[in-house]
């Protein structure tokens, strides 16, 4: 049933995961984990994935999909109903088993950072280090302050810091304990959008330098793509796809993933003579659907190009200027709508008849009845 | 009220507000004048005889009651918010009920329970023989017990609200940082809800410092009781003025300190994403222990006293105590309190309205001045009005007018606190929106302003009515001859140890206070 893209294998290998992937030890493993806040209503069901040392994993999905619940299960805040969670090879959660949070050695950065408002920056960072001798504690805290660029702010209280500084204190507080895995719950959602790009780069750099294994929750696919080695897409508590960012984008395994990680159009077609025949052309039938099957082809706007014509029924319905690109909405004769991304200098008035050129490197097919009309 | 929007204040309202503020400040000013103009011999006599003892007693009572209410209030709030056990919701609500018991009612019940030959002593003597003695209620310990049982709900309510609004992420972060449950509670949760606990304790301390009912019945010498004795026993107004000034200073210093502390910890805001607190389920043993604890505290503070009152009232009614004379006391109480609450609402609303709509320095100052009644304990305010009226308006002296003015001065702050938020809900934008939709000024007021403030104003009226009805010291000092209220009857009968005769009046006060208490608490409930 699983639709296969044109070159999924190569896409996966082209991803950011380095070649020693297979040799690095597994830090965290979830096996068919189900968690329910109320009996009979699972917040996540049968979620399985694993994270290797030093890897950055993104849990991506819309709000209410269970990504934060997954994080809380890993942290030990929520018990599991079914399945197991292993941390460094040891069983941490299972039905009836719940290793207390304070003994899991996980680090966590909360969405609103949750810096202790009654403690100064240094006291916040040193909160988890009380077992160390004070000299060692001080050295570690100061090393962490320097690494996160917080030197000079030691004596401040959290309310005296900017949003970006607060985030760095929260990171420092979690990292100074050298956690087995660092959990980040939407770390950029409370920041000014102008700042997030810079903060994202800084975070990525910091995680790589400290060789931290991290799991990051986000609803923003751009953020996930920019940061993650691998992405787990969740929807309604189920894991839809677990793969590299490139594979998630180019060869989504479900229509939901296709639509969630970027603009996508679903063009209906019928399988005839080993080809998928659609209104905008023919595509190879890679999955091997039987003749006469009703399928849809997923196409991204960057695969569609337009050229103006003197005459025709395919016309531009709308143009949205996005700075680096123009996003055109094209109406086909049947009423079907396709989007096309053009460079920002190519401007055509609305109503212009156009010709479509579809240059798709990755063809993704789904059965027609699996596709819901997209929300946007 | 508003015929035009965002124009200058109608001068008549301004004058009214100034007048009201002046009226309310007058007693405070007069006390200061009375004390400072007292002969230096009075000062040195008091300094050598009374003041050290009174100061020591008042402060040590405040300290011990704070400690007691802290232990009870915080532990009860913690159990009710953080654990789940059968009957939790009932206890959550029942633990507020002691606030419905005026201190003089609780004190009078305990003089019976703990007194010589009382039931507790008899029970004790069946164990220890006829020589066994329990501690006397007429003591520091007795006053501490009664005041603690009566005021712990202040700490309980505020701590509970803070715990319910507590951002659980702080605790989770502490756990992630390797802290155990206990360390999390001590290092994170308690420090973060400290402002709420302190606010509750400061209410308790002000309550203790200004209480007259319990200390007078338990004959424990504090400032309020001493002021009363100077006025009634020794007819020494200068000495009473000196003691009053000291008490007012005590309250002021305390209030300023508390304000300073609150400013300093303003950043302790712990709000965030709301998540229902995870209640820890209790096993049978835990449930048993918690229930026992709640039963004991609730029983001592409300259940047992209420049962005794009902029992005594029953026999008093059977003996014909509820007669026309008793109904007269009821009428006196209702009549006086009703008038006082209505007038207080009338004079208070221009103050609150001006300060919220035209917050000029003068208007805000007027409102602040109206809060002066807070630092004027009952006997002190009564003393000031007594002397003021006898000098300035002798024809009103000894009439109900003086009493009503005393109630207004004393209870307007509480009413204003309820009225102000209601008025602040009505922003000029709302009225402007109504006007832009074609409503005239009168309809704007009737359909926009009035419905929004009505709830708050009714609550303020009910609150001031009940506070006036419970009021004891000013009523004792200022009432017209032979004009007794329910509160006065309770105190007079209880002083003579006529326990049964005092019961019907006391029970009636408690019963009438209950709905208002629920009204006030339900606001807190909704916020939580």
- Could you report the predicted ipTM of this complex, rounded to two decimals? 0.75
Which residues are registered as beta bridge partners of A50?
A: A29
Residues of A in contact with B275 (CB under 8 A): none
**pLDDT higher than 70, residue B139:** yes
| pLDDT reported for residue A319 | 92
* Nearest Cβ partner for A75 among B176, B191, B270: B176
A182 within some domain: yes
Q: Are residues B368 and B329 part of one domain? A: yes
| pLDDT reported for residue B206 | 85
* Nearest Cβ partner for B188 among A100, A107, A116: A116
Q: Which residue has the tokens 């950011």?
A: A16
pLDDT tens profile B180-189: 888 999 988 9
Backbone angles phi, psi at B496, to 5 degrees: -90, 5
Q: Are residues A136 and A70 part of one domain? A: yes
Are B177 and A114 inside 8 Å of each other by CB? Answer: no
Residues of B in contact with A157 (CB under 8 A): 267
| pLDDT reported for residue B409 | 86
State the pTM of this model. Answer: 0.80
Are B167 and A127 inside 8 Å of each other by CB? Answer: no
Q: Are residues B423 and B466 part of one domain? A: yes
Q: Are residues A232 and A322 part of one domain? A: no
Residue with the bigger pLDDT between B374 and B21: it is: B21
Q: Are residues A281 and A147 part of one domain? A: no
Q: Of A231, A259, A287, at which residue does a domain stop?
A: A259
| pLDDT reported for residue A21 | 54
> Rounded distance, CA B380 to CA B226, Å?
10
Residue with the bigger pLDDT between A99 and B46: it is: A99
A137 part of contact set with chain B, CB < 8 Å: no
> Rounded distance, CA A171 to CA A205, Å?
13
> Rounded distance, CA A343 to CA A351, Å?
19
B191 part of contact set with chain A, CB < 8 Å: yes
A267 within some domain: no
> Rounded distance, CA B486 to CA B469, Å?
8
Q: List, for chain A, all residue ranges whose pLDDT scores fall below the cut of 50.
A: 1-19, 374-376
| pLDDT reported for residue B166 | 83
Q: Are residues B244 and B141 part of one domain? A: yes
Q: Are residues B347 and B275 part of one domain? A: no
* CA proximity to B329, closest of B487, B470, B215, B456: B487
Backbone angles phi, psi at A213, to 5 degrees: -80, 130
Q: Are residues B56 and B27 part of one domain? A: no
Query: Sorting pLDDT into bands at 50, 70 and 90, what band is B8?
Result: low
pLDDT tens profile B424-471: 777 777 777 777 777 777 787 777 777 878 878 888 888 888 888 888
* Nearest Cβ partner for A173 among B167, B177, B187: B177
pLDDT tens profile B64-120: 999 999 999 999 999 999 999 998 989 988 998 998 899 999 998 998 888 877 888
Query: A55: domain CATH number?
Result: 3.40.50.300
Mean pLDDT value across residues B3-19? 66
Asked whether the CA dihedral B173, B157, B155, B114 is positive or negative, the reply is negative
Cβ distance A70 to A59 under 8 Å?
A: yes
pLDDT tens profile B199-233: 889 889 888 888 888 898 888 988 888 888 888 87
* Structural domain containing residue B82: 46-311
Count of the separate structural domains present in chain B: 2
Q: What's the N-to-C CA distance of chain A in angstroms?
A: 27
Q: Are residues A42 and A176 part of one domain? A: yes
What would the two tokens of residue B278 be?
A: 């995870």
Q: Are residues B410 and B377 part of one domain? A: yes
pLDDT tens profile A342-368: 988 888 999 999 999 888 777 888 888
> Rounded distance, CA A336 to CA B528, Å?
51
**pLDDT higher than 90, residue B393:** no
Shortest distance, CA A258 to any CA of chain B (angstroms) = 31
Query: Sorting pLDDT into bands at 50, 70 and 90, what band is B244?
Result: confident
Count of the separate structural domains present in chain A: 2
Q: Of B285, B311, B337, at which residue does a domain stop?
A: B311
Count of C-beta atoms within a 10 Å radius of residue A308: 13
Count of C-beta atoms within a 10 Å radius of residue B287: 17
* Structural domain containing residue A206: 8-259
Provide CB contacts within 8 A for A180, sequence distance 6+.
A27, A28, A87, A88, A104, A105, A106, A213
Q: Nearest-CA residue of chain A relative to B178?
A: A102
A107 part of contact set with chain B, CB < 8 Å: yes
């Amino acid at each position: 049933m699983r639709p296969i893209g044109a070159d999924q294998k190569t896409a996966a290998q082209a991803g950011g995961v380095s070649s020693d992937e297979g040799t690095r030890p597994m830090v965290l493993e979830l096996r068919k984990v189900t968690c329910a806040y109320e009996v009979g209503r699972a917040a996540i069901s049968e979620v399985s994935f694993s994270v290797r040392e030093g890897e950055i994993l993104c849990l991506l999905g819309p709000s209410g999909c269970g990504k934060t619940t997954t994080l809380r299960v890993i942290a030990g805040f929520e018990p599991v109903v079914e399945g197991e969670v292993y941390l460094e090879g040891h069983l941490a959660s299972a039905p009836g088993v719940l290793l207390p949070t304070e003994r899991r050695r996980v680090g966590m950065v909360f969405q609103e950072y949750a810096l202790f408002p009654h403690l100064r920056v240094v006291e916040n960072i040193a909160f988890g280090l009380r077992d160390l001798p004070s000299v060692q504690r001080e050295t570690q805290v100061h090393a962490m302050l320097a690494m996160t660029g917080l030197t000079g702010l030691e004596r401040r209280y959290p309310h005296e810091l900017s949003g970006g500084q607060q985030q760095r204190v929260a990171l420092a507080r979690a990292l100074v304990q050298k956690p087995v895995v660092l959990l980040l719950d939407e770390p950029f959602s409370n920041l000014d959008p102008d700042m997030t790009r810079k903060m994202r780069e800084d975070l990525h750099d910091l995680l790589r330098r400290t060789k931290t294994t991290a799991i990051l929750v986000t609803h923003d696919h751009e953020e996930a793509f920019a940061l993650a080695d691998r992405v787990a897409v969740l929807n309604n508590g189920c894991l839809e796809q677990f793969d590299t960012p490139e594979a998630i984008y180019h060869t989504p395994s479900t229509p939901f993933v296709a639509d969630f990680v970027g603009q996508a159009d679903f063009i209906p077609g019928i399988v005839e003579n080993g080809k998928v025949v659609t209104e905008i052309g023919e595509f190879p039938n890679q999955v091997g659907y039987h003749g006469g099957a009703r399928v849809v082809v997923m196409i991204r706007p960057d695969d569609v190009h337009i050229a103006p014509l003197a005459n025709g029924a395919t016309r531009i319905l709308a143009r949205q200027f996005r700075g680096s690109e123009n996003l055109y909405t094209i109406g086909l004769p049947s009423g079907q709508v396709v989007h096309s991304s053009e460079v920002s200098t190519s401007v055509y008035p609305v109503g212009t008849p156009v010709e479509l050129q579809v240059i798709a490197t990755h063809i993704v097919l789904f059965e027609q009845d699996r596709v819901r009309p997209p929300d946007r | 009220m508003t015929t035009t929007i965002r124009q200058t204040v109608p001068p008549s309202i301004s004058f009214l507000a100034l007048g009201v503020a002046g009226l309310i400040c007058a007693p405070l000013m007069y006390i200061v004048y009375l004390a400072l103009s007292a002969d230096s011999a009075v000062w040195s006599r008091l300094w050598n005889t009374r003041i050290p003892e009174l100061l020591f007693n008042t402060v040590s009572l405040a300290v011990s009651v704070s400690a007691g209410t802290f232990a009870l209030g915080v532990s009860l709030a913690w159990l009710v918010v953080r654990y789940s056990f059968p009957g939790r919701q009932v206890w959550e609500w029942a633990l507020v009920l002691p606030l419905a018991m005026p201190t003089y009612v609780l004190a009078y019940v305990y003089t019976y329970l703990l007194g010589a030959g009382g039931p507790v002593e008899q029970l004790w003597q069946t164990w220890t023989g006829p020589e066994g003695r329990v501690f006397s209620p007429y003591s520091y310990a007795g006053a501490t017990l009664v005041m603690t049982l009566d005021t712990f709900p202040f700490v309980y309510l505020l701590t509970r609200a803070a715990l319910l609004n507590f951002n659980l992420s702080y605790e989770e972060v502490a756990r992630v940082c390797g802290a155990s449950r206990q360390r999390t509670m001590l290092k994170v949760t308690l420090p973060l809800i400290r402002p709420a606990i302190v606010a509750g304790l400061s209410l308790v301390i002000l309550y203790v410092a200004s209480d007259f009912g319990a200390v007078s019945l338990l004959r424990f010498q504090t400032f309020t009781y001493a002021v009363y004795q100077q006025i009634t026993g020794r007819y020494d107004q200068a000495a009473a003025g000196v003691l009053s000034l000291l008490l007012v200073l005590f309250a002021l210093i305390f209030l300023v300190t508390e304000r300073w502390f609150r400013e300093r910890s303003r950043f302790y805001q712990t709000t965030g994403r709301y998540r229902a607190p995870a209640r820890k389920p209790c096993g049978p043993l835990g449930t048993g222990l918690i229930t026992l604890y709640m039963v004991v505290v609730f029983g001592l503070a409300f259940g047992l006293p209420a049962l005794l009152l009902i029992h005594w009232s029953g026999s008093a009614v059977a003996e014909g105590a509820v007669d026309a004379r008793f109904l007269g006391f009821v009428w006196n109480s209702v009549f006086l309190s009703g008038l006082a609450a209505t007038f207080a609402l009338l004079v208070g609303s221009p103050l609150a309205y001006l300060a919220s709509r035209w917050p000029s320095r003068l208007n805000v100052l007027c409102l602040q001045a109206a809060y002066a009644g807070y630092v004027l304990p009952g006997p002190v305010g009564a003393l000031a009005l007594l002397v003021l009226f006898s000098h300035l308006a002798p024809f009103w002296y000894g009439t109900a007018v003086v009493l009503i003015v005393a109630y207004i001065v004393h209870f307007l702050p509480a009413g204003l606190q309820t009225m102000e938020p209601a008025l602040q809900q009505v922003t000029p934008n709302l009225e402007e929106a109504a006007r832009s939709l074609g409503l005239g000024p009168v309809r704007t007021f009737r359909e926009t302003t009035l419905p929004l403030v009505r709830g708050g104003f009714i609550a303020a009226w009910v609150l001031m009515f009940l506070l006036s009805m419970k009021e004891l010291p000013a009523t004792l000092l200022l009432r017209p001859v032979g004009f007794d209220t329910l509160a006065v009857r309770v105190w007079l009968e209880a002083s003579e140890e006529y326990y049964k005769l005092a019961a019907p009046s006391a029970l009636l006060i408690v019963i009438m206070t209950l709905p208002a208490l629920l009204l006030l608490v339900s606001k807190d409930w909704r916020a939580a």
